[in-house]
Amino acid sequence: MSQLALPIGLADHAVFTSFVAAGNEELWQLLQSIAEAKSGTGCWIWGAAATGKTHLLQAVCERAGDRAAFVPLGALADAGAGMLQGLESRELVCLDDLQLIAGRADWEHALFTLYNELQQHAGQLVVAASMPPRECPIELPDLLSRLTQLPSYNVRPLADAERIAALVLRAKQRGLYLPDEAARYLLTHSRRDMGSLYDLLDRLDKEAMRAQRRLTVPFVSEMLRKMTTDQGLT
């Protein structure tokens, strides 16, 4: 995957097959069409933190290969709007956390230029933000007008049963067996957002390998108690 000059990579797990699309099936299908150049338009996706927006953008770029560029504005906002220069050469540009550069004149003008250049070359723009386009505090009227023309989709959070399925799927992709009851225990004894749950699963994976143990409920319970104790000592 060719990315920007900065060392920006894609997470290995961020592919379409690892995304539990329950409640977001239409968006999931659309983004695959965009990634495969079967759709002539980009889109704006929005929702709360840890609902899978970054996962979906990276999945688009993974599927599209070198035709695409992933731009995490959370990491690049302070690097300057020049980071967008040259991206018009890509067929597909995915911008994450757009709200972070809203109201910043240099970024807004650079994005307006990029949008127009992509349009001229039949390129596509996929944007992720924490709010829908009309609520984003973009100050450049022409840019806001362009972005509100993109189809807008709310990424809906998963229900509990779907969160469990997502944890089991993530574990399977890591070569682990996570029983449903252990995933359910995690859901009821830790932070419930998927980002925190995935981070916790990564930590449990390392502990299980170190201890040569399986991810059973007793082991998960033991590790959660140990982590809580360790945090209390720091």
This prediction's pTM = 0.88
Identify the burial level of 152 via C-beta atoms within 10 angstroms of its C-beta, where 0-12 means exposed, 13-18 middle and 19 or more buried.
middle
Mean pLDDT for the stretch of residues 27-53: 92
Q: Percent of the chain beyond pLDDT 90?
A: 79
Count Cβ atoms below 10 Å from residue 159 Cβ, excluding itself.
11
Handedness of CA 203, 207, 213, 218 (dihedral sign): negative
Confidence of residue 138 (pLDDT cuts 50, 70, 90): very high
Q: State the DSSP H helix or E strand holding residue 93, giving kind and residue range, or none if neither.
A: strand 92-96
Q: Would you report the helix, strand and coil content of the chain in percent, each value rounded to 5?
A: 55, 10, 35
Dist. CA 167–CA 142, nearest whole Å: 42
At 155-207, the pLDDT tens digits run 999 999 999 999 999 999 888 899 999 999 999 999 888 888 989 999 999 99
Q: Is 69 within 8 Å of 44 (Cβ atoms)?
A: no
Q: Which domains does the chain have, with CATH numbers?
A: 16-154 (3.40.50.300), 160-233 (1.10.8.60)
